[in-house]
Amino acid sequence: MATQIATLSVADGIATIIINAPPVNALSAPVRLGLVETFTAALADDGIKGIILACAGKTFFAGADITELGKGFQQPDLHAVQAVIEGSNKPVVAAIHGTALGGGLEVALTCNYRVAVPSAKVGLPEVALGLLPGAGGTQRLPRVVGPAAALDIMVFGKPLSARKAFELGLIDALVDEGGLHAGALAYLRQVIAAGKPLPRVRDREDALKEGRNDPGLFDRFRAANARAFRGFKAPENIIRAVEAAVTLPFEQGIKREWELFLELLGSTQSAAQRYAFFAERGVGKIPDLPTDAKPLPISRIGVIGAGTMGGGIAMNFLNSGLPVTIVERAQESLDRGIDTIRRNYANTVAKGRLSETEMERRMALLTPTLDMQALAGCDLVIEAVFENIDLKKQIFATLDGIAAPHAILASNTSFLDLDAIAAVTARPQQVIGLHFFSPANVMRLLEVVRGRMTSPQVLATALQVGRVIGKVTVVSGVCDGFIANRMMAPRTAIASDLTLRGPLPWEIDRVMTDYGFPMGPFAMMDLVGLDVIGWNAETSRSATLQELLCEAGHWGQKRGRGYYDYDDKRRAQPSAFTMEAIEHLATKAGIERRPYSDDEILEHLLYPVINEGARILREGIAFRGSDVDIALIYGYGWPVFTGGPLFWADTIGLDRIVAGLEKLRASYGDTYAPDSLLRDFAAKGLKLHKFGA
């Protein structure tokens, strides 16, 4: 017999309605219907004195069913469900466990009371989908916690712990972890015994005074967060909806919320962010992974190299409570590496985001050594030494002789041939790429590079490791630069070339930040250091802008001068030296510089990236277009409100990209010729982001 979505059971005059719609009890059409039917039945039964609303499985309602959004509203809609619950003349208690999110919390806010177990979380995360809470959240939440706290909760979308929600009055009672139903029942019986009028959030006005007495609150909130909101539409609509909560009567506020919700729902931004939500959850699904490829247990980690990447990689595991043995070639490098890890933790402690005890616990999990033999007990060893193929081969050959037979050997190489590295070992099936992004303890992307010989079980283990350390893992085949770096390489190349033709580095960077990137390519190169990205002092011949800058010691932020000049607070200013260097090179090459429009700059920088994405798909380096988008969103801060490069390309039209690339080809040569897959998709009206879906 199929499990019923909604069940109503009655004992001693109390009805319990339980929704069971795995995996997350999303408020889909059948769930909404089940709610209306069970509530209507409970309300019609005179023997019932009170109602408990709870969910089965791992969580209370996780929100509206996101797959339904944008496809019209099947009745009963969420407002109709809420009208039935809120109209109840019997007390209704929401019994919350897991996560009450979005529409889930909005439903709970139409119940008279909310009780939760301490491990529960509640929140209105719609902003992450480019939306606002459209089922009364923007009107009811400020009536409970006040407009300022409500803005924070909705605009940043971060769920609150049950304890915090209790402090804010959003939860009326916390009950024992294992006794949600019993606790809700006891609470409800108390309420019934007290016989007081039933409170409804919509009738509350007190908390709104904060906004009525201080209307400037909204503009101050806008100004204080302008940088974080840059490019996003949803935060502004949320602010407007909360303003409406403060200035309009409840029913009119709800109407205003709905208008602002529909405006977002119809936007490309929200479509892009909803796509990204599912794309992120799809990356771990590997089409050709046999179901019996079960991950191996990984409990001891080794890292070789305690430099920029090795240290950050080690921190991921320490943060997850896994012991790490870290090997260096010299005591000095080892000490420096360990100091950096300690300093990073100390900074987090200073910001109040980590306790001293926890920092020491993590440091105690770290074993620094100069002896490779210490890696013998590890289940997974990740190499992060200099990017040099001979060195990496030598390390892997040695490691192969030391590591336990079951151990997985991984490389963090950015561009080198993983198969060539695997070939020096007697266990190429146990070799894999784990390509972290800098800073490795912060950036969410982990590219899992599958070698020609990598076994399915090793791949499954790598994906599991990624989950354990909280990364978003995207599988890539072996190629120069894998997915994210390979895609972005043409942007850097063409940006440098473009400076000679007209636009200056800061103009180009501005177009990129206007598009939504956290920083442009020149600011980024200044940050990384111009000397370490392909410059060679011995062969440098003043032939390129980078060579001219590096020869003059303008290596970027660390020298206070790079493409930009930096003041003592590291604020960037346009550099006269850079401008002169550009003029000099352009004159030497006989190029007449001219102004470029923002659109032209955008085409120059981003169309080649799309083209590279098409090539990556055609070559089978990525399984899906959506994997490519996720890699760029999490690896390079590609603005999520565009959906990533391929979703964006589909939005603006592949014909346009092909035509733009043809123009670039005329100026720059065949490197920029549209790829055959791109042409094919454009001709057939297919979508790149759906490739492999």
Q: Rounded to 5 degrees, what angle do the CA atoms 84, 85, 87 make?
A: 65
Picked from ligand 3HC, ligand NAI, none, the partner binding residue 644 (CB below 5 to 8 A depending on kind) is: none
Tell whether residue 101 is a contact of ligand 3HC (CB under 6 A): yes
Q: Find the binding residues for ligand NAI in span 202-221 (CB under 6 A).
A: none
Provide the mask over 300-339, with x wherever binding to ligand 3HC is found by CB under 6 A and - wherever it is not. Answer: ----------------------------------------
**Do the beta carbons of residue 152 and residue 131 sit within 8 Å?**
no
Tell whether residue 142 is a contact of ligand 3HC (CB under 6 A): no
Tell whether residue 99 is a contact of ligand 3HC (CB under 6 A): yes
Per DSSP, helices labelled H in 172-232 are: 180-194, 209-213, 217-224, 226-229
Strand segments (E) across 623-683: none
Beta-bridge partners for 8: 17
Cα dihedral sign, 268-271-276-282: negative
* CB-based burial, 65-84: b 16+ in 10 Å, e otherwise: bbeebeeeeeebbbeebbeb
Picked from ligand 3HC, ligand NAI, none, the partner binding residue 99 (CB below 5 to 8 A depending on kind) is: ligand 3HC
The answer to whether 106 is a known catalytic residue is yes
**Do the beta carbons of residue 245 and residue 139 sit within 8 Å?**
yes
State the CB neighbour count (10 A cutoff) for residue 96: 30
Q: Would you give the distance in Å from CA 305 to the centre of its chain?
A: 28
Cβ within 8 Å of residue 568, ≥6 positions away: none
* Pairing outcome for strands 445-449 and 472-476: parallel
Q: Pick the catalytic residue: 86, 106, 257, 507?
A: 106
Nearer to ligand NAI, 524 or 661 (CB): 524
Q: Which of 308, 348, 513, 544 binds ligand NAI (CB under 6 A)?
A: 308
SS3 category, 357: helix
- How many residues does this entry show for the chain? 693
Tell whether residue 134 is a contact of ligand 3HC (CB under 6 A): yes
Tell whether residue 17 is a contact of ligand NAI (CB under 6 A): no
Q: Which stretch binds ligand 3HC (CB under 6 A): 129-137, 408-416, 472-480, 495-503?
A: 129-137
Tell whether residue 384 is a contact of ligand NAI (CB under 6 A): yes
Q: How far is the CB of 533 from ligand 3HC (least distance, A)?
A: 36
Structure token digits, residue 633: 């969103």
Q: Which stretch binds ligand NAI (CB under 6 A): 226-234, 346-354, 383-391, 663-671?
A: 383-391
- How far, in Å, CA of 235 to CA of 615, rounded? 36
Q: How far is the CB of 116 from ligand 3HC (least distance, A)?
A: 15
Beta-bridge partners for 431: 409
- How far, in Å, CA of 619 to CA of 209, rounded? 61
Picked from ligand 3HC, ligand NAI, none, the partner binding residue 280 (CB below 5 to 8 A depending on kind) is: none
Beta-bridge partners for 18: 7, 54
Q: Pick the catalytic residue: 86, 126, 243, 280?
A: 126
Nearer to ligand NAI, 201 or 384 (CB): 384
- How far, in Å, CA of 606 to CA of 602, rounded? 6
Q: How far is the CB of 121 from ligand 3HC (least distance, A)?
A: 8
Picked from ligand 3HC, ligand NAI, none, the partner binding residue 133 (CB below 5 to 8 A depending on kind) is: ligand 3HC
Nearer to ligand NAI, 329 or 593 (CB): 329
The answer to whether 126 is a known catalytic residue is yes
Find tokens 């506020």 and name the residue.
Answer: 253
Q: Which of 413, 473, 476, 611 binds ligand NAI (CB under 6 A)?
A: 413
Q: Which of 4, 67, 367, 676 binds ligand 3HC (CB under 6 A)?
A: 67
**Do the beta carbons of residue 624 and residue 280 sit within 8 Å?**
no
Cβ within 8 Å of residue 189, ≥6 positions away: 14, 50
Nearer to ligand NAI, 228 or 389 (CB): 389
Q: Which of 6, 18, 32, 63 binds ligand 3HC (CB under 6 A)?
A: 63
Nearer to ligand 3HC, 125 or 302 (CB): 125
Nearest CA among 83, 153, 152 for reference residue 124 = 153
Nearer to ligand 3HC, 135 or 504 (CB): 135
Beta-bridge partners for 509: none
Picked from ligand NAI, ligand 3HC, none, the partner binding residue 634 (CB below 5 to 8 A depending on kind) is: none
Q: Which of 157, 310, 477, 520 binds ligand NAI (CB under 6 A)?
A: 310
Tell whether residue 301 is a contact of ligand NAI (CB under 6 A): no
**Do the beta carbons of residue 434 and residue 446 sit within 8 Å?**
yes
- How far, in Å, CA of 621 to CA of 612, rounded? 11
Q: How far is the CB of 448 from ligand NAI (least distance, A)?
A: 13
Burial class (CB in 10 A: 0-12, 13-18, 19+), 331: exposed
Q: Give catalytic residues, as residue numbers.
A: 106, 126
**Footprint of ligand 3HC on this chain (CB under 6 A)?**
23-24, 26, 59, 62-67, 78, 99, 101-103, 106, 125-126, 129, 131, 133-135, 137, 278, 281
**Footprint of ligand NAI on this chain (CB under 6 A)?**
304-310, 327-329, 333, 337, 384-387, 391, 395, 412-414, 436-438
